[in-house]
Chains A and B, each alone.
Chain A
Amino acid sequence: MGVENNELEKVIIQSVMEELARKGLLSQKGKDHMMSAAMMDTPIVPNLQSEEMVTFPPQEEMQIANPFNADAVRAMKKLTPARIGIGRAGTRPKTMSLLRFLADHAVAQDAVFLDVSEEFLQRMNMMSVQSAAASKDEFLQRPELGRRLSEEAAKSIAEKCEKNVQVQILIVDGLSSSAIEANIPDLLPALMQGLKSSGIKVGAPFFIKNGRVWVQDHVASIVNCDVVISLIGERPGLGTAESLSAYMIYRPDENTVEADRTVISNIHKGGIPPAEAGAHLTDVIKQILSAKASGVKLNQQK
């Protein structure tokens, strides 16, 4: 129906209604109702075949209205992954900032429940064992289970791992499996290479599913190594779900406290790049071996 036709139709309906109402054949309410129905435009049927869709503007886009120095804001945005240069609506974020935040929250929440894929473990050619936490839910709600090995795991480690090495490397999913898949392929070879070329004796690295930081103490008690290092997934953030930490400890025992560990965090492509982290961690491990201490005790000796 053309626009003019539509207008004409409205005029006709309106006059008929008015006439009926004048004669008392139509209540005011009934008239209003029918009038508004008549005034409505014909609905537009969405075209589901279309390729058009709503997306977020590029993250690097500067969102400030009339900035003092737009180039400076753009340059600042390149210097940090933080949400800056995003403008405002009054004191509140702009609509796109709000929606992007919600989208990133949704993705980060999902990341917690992902498992490291079988395919990845096969490709890395690593032994894989599990903590005492049987599922992700159990892992999240009962931290003590993620802090020790399952009986089966303890047995395989006792049977298969080399004992009395200087360094034992563990790959632990922790709170992010994405962190493992994203960083280990570059980080692990660099670290192994660094340690070997420094003449340090390293046991074969293996993977622990549903593990937390303290599980390294249980492993150390079985393999009897000097230093145990866990490459473990940090809790996922909105900015990235790929951040990995290295927690290291020198000969943990029953008197070990958390402050005895040394940690290097934020290993990922936007933080310490994994290949570089290999060299950095090698240096830290060398310091730990020569000081025979880690954590605050190591720092006190420096």
Chain B
Amino acid sequence: MILKAKVYNKIFAFQSLKEVMSKANEEKSGDELVGIAAKSASERVAAKLVLSNLTLEDIYNNPVIPYEEDEVTRAIYDGLNLRIYQEIKSWTVGYLREYILDHKTTGENLLHISRGLTSEMIAAVAKLMSTMDLVCGSKKLRVQSHCNTTLGIPGTLAFRCQPNHPTDSVEGMLASLKEGLAYGSGDAVIGINPVEDNVETVSRLLDTVKNFMIKWEIPTQNCVLAHVTTQMKAIEKGAPVDLVFQSIAGTHKANDAFGVSAAILDEAFALAQRKGSATGPNLMYFETGQGSEVSLDAHLGVDMMTLEARTYGFARGYRPFMTNNVSGFIGPETIYSGREVIRADLEDLFMGKLHGLPMGIAPCYTNHMKADQNDQEMGTLLCAMAGSNFFMGVPGGDDVMLSYQDTSYHDDASTREILGLRPLPEFEQWLEKMGILENGKLTERAGDPSIFDK
């Protein structure tokens, strides 16, 4: 394993694979905060150069966090297909990049080698990829999943309708839900973040959405994004849960901080299978994002991007219906600017897809970072071109409960029309039946929540 590189007249030596991995990253404030980012532009290139020459076997033999100490590492290694790994272990990371981009390599080929790639290998190759590289790679990969409806069908783009309310008011939530549906948002899931994390609130919201779906015959899935343990109690008490939600992270320590573990997720998945209300087989909804480990001081000296890949390695065993990445959600200490968010979104979309996950992106920003609406809209279009399966849908782009900005109902409709993408088929039929959509375009009637008030 060669950890030394010469960039023109300067020589750079690195101590470990972990160091190479962090220094090969594009600039992000979270890596700088932890003190593991490259010190100069040349050092960054040197790290990329070293990385490009490492083999997949080198990476396999040097997990950034030891197997014995970390449940996430164990999930990644135990879930690996060793036969496929054996076939490709001599590839260098640089070769892997070219293989991914090669015209002869199809999405199917990529999903095949995916099973023999550890999360660190996937992170490594993404570190060698530019913006367009990431878009090209992502676009090839199409992962479908099925809960009540099928997500990820080529030519479609779906949205989570996110009708959050600052007091969990059922009527207030319904008002935002109707507005979202009237713009064609809500085919991925109708997902509410509750203010109060208790069984009563969670069950009330689940029942309300489920009844609304039944009354208006809406082909989609419901979810209330409380802590997983609260949702499990709600299921036990008979609440209708299509998708079980949980935030997850890339280290055992960060997952402890989130109050989750493989054992809890196993139990949740089993419960969804036995007592959930959906068809399945995909019943989980995960949320991830670069920086949560840094924010919880649970990064163990590993860079944010590699940790994000590890999070996907942890997720894939649960065959989720959707994995949503929210990298701009935390603040400037982890992701400083619009430029950093866009880069993170593209990295995450690619890394998630190469893990075989049905990925969606929330190109979002908070008011304490250096990003604005223009950055967000650029990120959205790029991720849509790269084939994100879904985005969020927030009234006017402003989440009045979580206090951040995300794709709006307007952005949802715009993105579909700009790129000629369609809603999920059953949902499109429903939109046509309701008179909201015609030939893939909003009708005169669209955007009016009162069509549900007959």
Residues of A within 8 A of B (CB): 64, 66-70, 72-73, 76-77, 79-88, 90-93, 97, 101-102, 104-105, 108-109, 111-112, 140-144, 175, 234-240, 243, 257-259, 264-266, 268, 270-272, 295-296, 299-300
Docked-complex contact A93 and B396, CB < 8 angstroms: yes
CB contacts (< 8 Å) of B33 on chain A: these are: 141-143
Q: How far is the CB of B179 from chain A (nearest CB, A)?
A: 4
Beyond the given A69-B450, A101-B398, please list 8 additional residue pairs across the A-B interface where CB-CB is below 8 A: A80-B176, A82-B398, A83-B408, A88-B446, A141-B33, A237-B400, A257-B256, A259-B227
Q: How far is the CA of A282 from the CA of B163 in the complex (A)?
A: 29
Given A83-B398, A88-B447, A235-B331, the answer on whether A111 and B165 have CB atoms closer than 8 Å is no
Given A73-B450, A86-B396, the answer on whether A266 and B410 have CB atoms closer than 8 Å is no
Docked-complex contact B403 and A234, CB < 8 angstroms: yes
Of A79, A142, A295, A296, which is within 8 A of B333 by CB? Answer: A142
Q: How far is the CB of A285 from chain B (nearest CB, A)?
A: 16
Docked-complex contact A70 and B450, CB < 8 angstroms: yes
Pull 14 A–B residue pairs with CB atoms less than 8 Å apart, ordered by A.
A69-B450, A72-B453, A76-B449, A82-B398, A83-B396, A108-B367, A142-B333, A235-B403, A237-B399, A237-B402, A237-B403, A239-B400, A243-B403, A271-B166
Given A79-B171, A112-B367, A238-B367, the answer on whether A72 and B165 have CB atoms closer than 8 Å is no
CB contacts (< 8 Å) of B165 on chain A: these are: 80, 82
CB contacts (< 8 Å) of B331 on chain A: these are: 140, 175, 235
Contact with A along B172-199 (1 / 0, CB 8 A): 1101101100010000000000011110
Which 5 pairs show the lowest CB-CB distances between chains A and B? A83-B396, A259-B259, A237-B403, A76-B175, A80-B172
Given A76-B175, A83-B398, A243-B403, the answer on whether A92 and B169 have CB atoms closer than 8 Å is no
Q: How far is the CA of A102 from the CA of B398 in the complex (A)?
A: 11
Q: Which residue of A lies closest to B332 (CB)?
A: A140
Q: Which residue of B lies closest to A268 (CB)?
A: B166
CB contacts (< 8 Å) of B408 on chain A: these are: 83, 93
Q: How far is the CB of A100 from chain B (nearest CB, A)?
A: 9
Q: Say whether B271 faces chain A, with CB atoms less than 8 Å apart.
A: no
CB contacts (< 8 Å) of B448 on chain A: these are: 64, 67-68, 73
Given A105-B372, A141-B29, A239-B398, the answer on whether A79 and B175 have CB atoms closer than 8 Å is yes
Q: Which residue of B lies closest to A111 (CB)?
A: B367
Q: How far is the CB of A300 from chain B (nearest CB, A)?
A: 7
CB contacts (< 8 Å) of A237 on chain B: these are: 367, 398-400, 402-404
Docked-complex contact A112 and B176, CB < 8 angstroms: no
CB contacts (< 8 Å) of A295 on chain B: these are: 259
Q: How far is the CA of A91 from the CA of B451 in the complex (A)?
A: 18
Q: How far is the CB of B412 from chain A (nearest CB, A)?
A: 9
Q: How far is the CB of B162 from chain A (nearest CB, A)?
A: 10
Q: How far is the CA of A279 from the CA of B257 in the complex (A)?
A: 28
Q: How far is the CA of A93 from the CA of B173 in the complex (A)?
A: 21
Given A140-B331, A235-B331, the answer on whether A102 and B373 have CB atoms closer than 8 Å is yes
CB contacts (< 8 Å) of A300 on chain B: these are: 229
Q: How far is the CA of A296 from the CA of B179 in the complex (A)?
A: 34
Docked-complex contact B405 and A85, CB < 8 angstroms: no
Q: How far is the CA of A28 from the CA of B178 in the complex (A)?
A: 61
Q: How far is the CB of B5 from chain A (nearest CB, A)?
A: 30
CB contacts (< 8 Å) of A268 on chain B: these are: 166
Of B173, B178, B367, which is within 8 A of A235 by CB? Answer: B367
Docked-complex contact B367 and A271, CB < 8 angstroms: no
Docked-complex contact B296 and A258, CB < 8 angstroms: yes
Q: How far is the CA of A243 from the CA of B404 in the complex (A)?
A: 13
Docked-complex contact B410 and A68, CB < 8 angstroms: no
Docked-complex contact A91 and B442, CB < 8 angstroms: yes
Docked-complex contact A296 and B227, CB < 8 angstroms: yes
Q: Which residue of B lies closest to A76 (CB)?
A: B175
Q: Say whether B130 faces chain A, with CB atoms less than 8 Å apart.
A: no
Q: How far is the CA of A300 from the CA of B228 in the complex (A)?
A: 12
Docked-complex contact B169 and A79, CB < 8 angstroms: yes
Q: How far is the CA of A12 from the CA of B272 in the complex (A)?
A: 86
Docked-complex contact B167 and A238, CB < 8 angstroms: no
Q: Which residue of A lies closest to B260 (CB)?
A: A259
Q: Say whether B366 faces chain A, with CB atoms less than 8 Å apart.
A: yes
Q: How far is the CA of A143 from the CA of B258 in the complex (A)?
A: 18
Q: How far is the CA of A259 from the CA of B264 in the complex (A)?
A: 14
Q: Say whether B397 faces chain A, with CB atoms less than 8 Å apart.
A: yes
Q: How far is the CB of B421 from chain A (nearest CB, A)?
A: 13
CB contacts (< 8 Å) of B197 on chain A: these are: 299
Q: Which residue of B lies closest to A84 (CB)?
A: B179
Q: How far is the CB of B178 from chain A (nearest CB, A)?
A: 7
Q: How far is the CA of A93 from the CA of B408 in the complex (A)?
A: 9
CB contacts (< 8 Å) of B372 on chain A: these are: 105
Q: Say whether B237 faces chain A, with CB atoms less than 8 Å apart.
A: no
Given A67-B450, A82-B165, the answer on whether A101 and B367 have CB atoms closer than 8 Å is no
Contact with A along B154-170 (1 / 0, CB 8 A): 00000000011111010
Q: How far is the CA of A231 from the CA of B402 in the complex (A)?
A: 17
Q: Which residue of A lies closest to B226 (CB)?
A: A299
Q: How far is the CB of B330 from chain A (nearest CB, A)?
A: 9
Q: How far is the CA of A24 from the CA of B366 in the complex (A)?
A: 65
CB contacts (< 8 Å) of B229 on chain A: these are: 296, 299-300
Docked-complex contact B450 and A82, CB < 8 angstroms: no
Contact with A along B363-382 (1 / 0, CB 8 A): 00011100011000000000
Within 8 A of A (CB), among B387-418: 395-405, 408, 410, 413-414, 417
Most A Cβ at <10 Å: residue of B172, B397, B403, B405: B403
Most A Cβ at <10 Å: residue of B230, B399, B401: B401
Docked-complex contact B175 and A80, CB < 8 angstroms: yes
Q: How far is the CA of A134 from the CA of B173 in the complex (A)?
A: 41
Q: Which residue of B lies closest to A102 (CB)?
A: B373
Docked-complex contact A235 and B169, CB < 8 angstroms: no
Q: Say whether B445 faces chain A, with CB atoms less than 8 Å apart.
A: yes
Within 8 A of A (CB), among B250-270: 256-259
Given A238-B405, A299-B197, the answer on whether A143 and B179 have CB atoms closer than 8 Å is no
Q: How far is the CB of B431 from chain A (nearest CB, A)?
A: 14
Q: Say whether B90 faces chain A, with CB atoms less than 8 Å apart.
A: no
Given A68-B450, A143-B295, A271-B166, the answer on whether A238 and B398 have CB atoms closer than 8 Å is yes
